[in-house]
Copies of this chain bind each other. A is one copy, B any other.
């Protein structure tokens, strides 16, 4: 089959790789029908995280089951499935506590040892624990599938940020980051009942989406000015802050504006954000830091129900679609921010 392979920063290629097959009785082989390029893929694409030539890429994908191992109980050939960006057994202590990203048997798609989603097919380990079946009634509804595709990562991650930030009915929330995760964070905060949602962003198209998702205010200033404005407009800071970037400046922003007694829910992969932590203020004002890599497997069933019921539509974050050969161009578009998020249809 063909799949995307990392070669060097700025250099991903679509190449011939071995066809996936069942290796363990808990495996499934899935034909990929939809995948994405993730903001966090840019870390290796930009050389900011250590990746090795030959590693496979793509951790967000959906597809159709082609084969299952002898012990797979919940899936069969022909099922349409959503893959959370981490696979997990569904039975260990951490899976039972809804921290599937810490599963003792789990892992992430792509890299050195696993198939990635930016390819024609995937061998999916721990299929019963990981993959969620899309109800047959909507399995070929392309508009619905595009909405569900966001549940593989960004929508679940935005939801995790909102939960970690403590968003409840009537809350005031701020969202640091106008990427796909930040936009989904706005949508998640709205869904959880936030009354006021302040987006930190500067890009007109992203702001426009955020407003349709529920943002009530926008702060486009940077640094100290943005902090001062957020504190002023909320009379001391929003109690819930969703940190959706992971950089030093975004973490500094988040921890400097949260209201005393409030919380920062952080889901941006921390690339430098440690330095930005305003720990002195967090300590003196009892501001909690919660979150981390999102256990999106825990959230798919609930979010899927809302998507199917027509109550949730994160699909506007996809503003570019490519086929498999278009993946390198998709990376480039996300890297120079001409695309918010790229959908791949192999």
Q: Which residues of A contact B (CB under 8 A)?
A: 94, 97-99, 101-102, 164, 260-261, 266, 269-270, 273-274, 277, 279-280, 282-293, 295
Given contacts A270-B283, A274-B274, A280-B270, contact A261 B97 (CB under 8 A): yes
A291 to B289, CA, bound (A): 9
| Contacts A/B (CB < 8 Å), 12 sampled | A98-B261, A99-B260, A101-B285, A102-B285, A274-B274, A283-B293, A284-B293, A286-B291, A287-B292, A288-B289, A288-B290, A289-B289
A292 in complex: contacting residue of B99, B277, B283, B291, CB < 8 Å? B283
Ranked 5 nearest A-B pairs via Cβ? A102-B260, A99-B261, A286-B292, A288-B290, A283-B292
Q: Determine how many copies of this chain the complex contains.
A: 2
Cβ B283 vs Cβ A279 within 8 A: no
Contacts of A97 in B (CB 8 A): 261
Cβ A274 vs Cβ B279 within 8 A: yes
Cβ A295 vs Cβ B286 within 8 A: yes
Contacts of A285 in B (CB 8 A): 99, 101-102, 292
Cβ A286 vs Cβ B293 within 8 A: yes
Cβ B286 vs Cβ A282 within 8 A: no
Cβ B266 vs Cβ A283 within 8 A: yes
A291 to B98, CA, bound (A): 23
Name A279's closest neighbour in chain B (CB-CB).
B274
Beyond the given A94-B260, A273-B279, A283-B291, could you list 18 further A-B residue pairs with CB under 8 A, ordered by the A residue number?
Answer: A97-B261, A99-B260, A99-B286, A101-B285, A102-B260, A102-B261, A102-B286, A164-B288, A269-B283, A270-B280, A270-B283, A282-B289, A283-B292, A283-B293, A284-B292, A288-B288, A289-B290, A290-B290
